[in-house]
Amino acid sequence: MAKGAINPRSAGRKVERPANAFKTLLRILKYMLPYKIQLIFVVAAVFGAAISRVAVTYLLKPAVNIYIVPMIGRQDPDLSGFSRLVLIMTLIAGIGVLCTYLFNRLMLNVVTGTMRQVRVDMFTHMQRLPIKFFDTHTHGSVMSLYTNDVDTLREMISMSLPHMLLSLTTVVSIFIMMIVLSPLLTVLVIVVLMLMLITIRCVASKSSKYFSKQQQALSVVNGYIEEMAEGTKVVKVFCREEKVKQKFRECNETLFHQASNANTFANILMPIIGNLSYLLFAATSMLGGYLAVIGRVDLGTIAAFLQYTRNFSMPVSQISMQLNAILSALAGAERIFKFLDEPVESDYGYVGLVNAEISKDGTIAEVPYRTGKWAWKHPHHDKTLSYTPLKGDVVFEHVVFGYEPEKIVLNDISLEAKAGQKIAFVGSTGAGKTTITNLINRFYDLRHGKIRYDGININKIKKDDLRRSLSMVLQDTHLFTGTVMENIRYGKLDATDEEVYHAAKLANADSFISSLPQGYDTVLTADGVNLSQGQRQLIAIARAAIANPPVLILDEATSSIDTRTEALIEQGMNTLMKGRTVFVIAHRLSTVRNADKIVVLEHGKIIETGTHDELIKLKKRYYQLYTGLFELS
């Protein structure tokens, strides 16, 4: 048996089992269907490789019986026949090598194409998933699908599957040939092989506990490194470097001990397996020699049989390894398919947003080109169409909502924002301000009540069109890797450079962008870490401004910007807000003073509404918040 046929390191590891291996395998095969012609060649090449191996070995029999044995002791042996046989053997072996190369090469083509499709499907599907999915799944778990699970699947398709087929074909054909050569010797091989496998299984199951301990220790170390890398700043602020190093040394020491235990065991396993296979070889030789002496078998048969014995145990032990690899890849594939089966964001909206031309008498006509004016196109049951001009009127009617069934976050919210009004939401942390804005753009569905946009229930509006008519600066700013220019243009992909500069000026971002090393062409690294928090917000405001929508939602858009810059932006913002409905959320109450309506939220309920002056006169919560009598909690 070849050394390393069983990898003791993997022999002890617990294998993840798929819930429904057959169904998953079928689904993977469906992905490989476009490559069916290549796959047919792969299967043929695998059979070719297996059969050529078996055939070369079988030819040892005539080589020994017909040529070698009769020629022993001859003075001038005729080697022509023997040379011909050797040539044939070489030729068959060559075909075997060619077949092996061919199926590996073809499989590489199949696997790259299949994986490309899997990744495309996963990413496309991810774009269509509702926000709710990301609330309940960590980024880490989604990323692990793309990295670990896709990778094991790739390995399975390219390596384990064809090699499993090769091993199975080899084992079956060798087994048949062994029976043909000598049934008695075959029984012996099977018995010894069984003993071997049972021993390996026993030792492996013992070592599995050491391996799982090693695995645990490794995950502790990795987790610790990850956490400390993220928390470097906090560690330094509190001068905890020594403490952190100490803790790391402890974890690492445990890993060291567990790893040496596990590997000591693995090192014991290796010679056991090696010696067992020699035992098999020796036992077969002895019995074969005895049978030859008593004249039951010829020498050629024994030569071929011994070679088969050597070739037999390797694929047998490899099958179990390959099976483990396949099973854990199937478990990963199941996770990928579960992800692909996640329900996508549903949209039953049928009211769309169209470019419109509005004549003097108020009639609206749909036009295919950009006019800067928009209208809602509303198809009715009687096949007629009606158009409503896009104004930006938003009305909440008794809205009730909760992220989870058992917890209500917004309770009976009713409010009206007329087109062009500035509505401010204030209230303590967790009061539900961001949630309200999440509902306007239909990230989530309402539990009760209605939201009307220009008089139309937003459930009837196509989500894409609804979101196109709104612009948002989210509470947690997110910038993409790319230049400043590209990041601002994200709000309107066909914006000219001039429009980008104009939007940046409105947001008062122009001056700091110009002072960046490459100005608008400065590349922002992931999430704009090379900018300050406030600078990121300025870019996000410019991005929202460039879209030029009738409704603007600013969730803490200026929370990290100094008051002087904020005052400067406000001038730009006032121009920006003109003629638009704006929802502003701000903890800094000075920024919401000039709102047409201030809505004070507490525990998901509206407790006060009015203008700044009205609410100050009321001398209740807003007054307390404004005058600092009530600390925001």
Ligand X SMILES: Nc1ncnc2c1ncn2[C@@H]1O[C@H](COP(=O)(O)OP(=O)(O)OP(=O)(O)O)[C@@H](O)[C@H]1O
Which of 114, 301, 309, 434 forms a contact with ligand X (CB under 6 A)?
A: 434
The interface region with Mg ion, picked from 268-276, 412-420, 445-453, 469-477 by CB under 5 A, is 469-477
Q: Is 435 in the site for ligand X (CB under 6 A)?
A: yes
Q: Is 133 in the site for ligand X (CB under 6 A)?
A: no
Tokens of 464: 């894409």
Which of 152, 434, 438, 537 forms a contact with Mg ion (CB under 5 A)?
A: 434
Q: What would the x/- binding string for Mg ion be over residues 103 to 142, using CB under 5 A?
A: ----------------------------------------
Min CB(580)–Mg ion separation in Å: 21
For 254-288, what is the HEC assignment? Answer: HHHHHHHHHHHHHHHHHHHHHHHHHHHHHHHHHHH
Q: Is 433 in the site for ligand X (CB under 6 A)?
A: yes
Which of 75, 80, 138, 429 forms a contact with ligand X (CB under 6 A)?
A: 429
Strands 551-555 and 581-585: parallel
Q: How far is CA 202 from CA 78, 263, 313, 328, in A?
A: 54, 16, 18, 21
Q: Which of 18, 114, 138, 125 is nearest to 340 (CA)?
A: 125
Q: Is 12 in the site for ligand X (CB under 6 A)?
A: no
Q: Is 428 in the site for Mg ion (CB under 5 A)?
A: no
Q: Which is nearer to Mg ion, 334 or 555 (CB)?
A: 555
The interface region with ligand X, picked from 216-224, 262-270, 401-409, 572-580 by CB under 6 A, is 401-409
Phi and psi (nearest 5°) for 208? -65, -30
Asked if 431 and 406 touch (Cβ cutoff 8 Å), the reply is no
Q: Is 171 in the site for ligand X (CB under 6 A)?
A: no
Q: Which of 518, 486, 525, 478 is nearest to 504 (CA)?
A: 486
Angle at 393 between CA 508 and CA 361, to 5 degrees: 105
Asked if 63 and 300 touch (Cβ cutoff 8 Å), the reply is yes
Tokens of 482: 């790319």
The interface region with ligand X, picked from 339-347, 353-361, 425-433, 483-491 by CB under 6 A, is 425-433
The interface region with ligand X, picked from 4-12, 319-327, 428-436, 566-574 by CB under 6 A, is 428-436
Amino acid identity of residue 505, one-letter, is K
Q: Is 24 in the site for ligand X (CB under 6 A)?
A: no
Work out what residue 582 binds among ligand X, Mg ion, none; the CB cut-off runs from 5 to 8 Å by kind: none
Q: Is 469 in the site for Mg ion (CB under 5 A)?
A: no
Q: What would the x/- binding string for ligand X be over residues 462 to 501, using CB under 6 A?
A: -------------x--------------------------
Under DSSP, the state recorded for 67 is I
Which of 248, 403, 623, 630 forms a contact with ligand X (CB under 6 A)?
A: 403
Asked if 8 and 273 touch (Cβ cutoff 8 Å), the reply is yes
Q: Distance between CA atoms of 433 and 556, rounded to whole angstroms?
A: 10
Q: Distance between CA atoms of 125 and 227, rounded to whole angstroms?
A: 30
HSE-up (13 A, CA, CB side) for residue 66:
13
Work out what residue 429 binds among ligand X, Mg ion, none; the CB cut-off runs from 5 to 8 Å by kind: ligand X
Q: Which is nearer to Mg ion, 258 or 434 (CB)?
A: 434
Q: Which is nearer to ligand X, 365 or 632 (CB)?
A: 632
Q: Is 443 in the site for ligand X (CB under 6 A)?
A: no
**Distance of alpha carbon 46 from the chain centroid:** 32
Min CB(436)–ligand X separation in Å: 7
Strands 422-427 and 456-457: unpaired
What are the strands of the beta sheet with 581-585, ordered from one edge?
Answer: 470-473, 551-555, 581-585, 422-427, 597-602, 605-610
Residues that bind Mg ion (CB under 5 A): 434, 475
Residues that bind ligand X (CB under 6 A): 135, 403-404, 409, 427, 429-435, 475
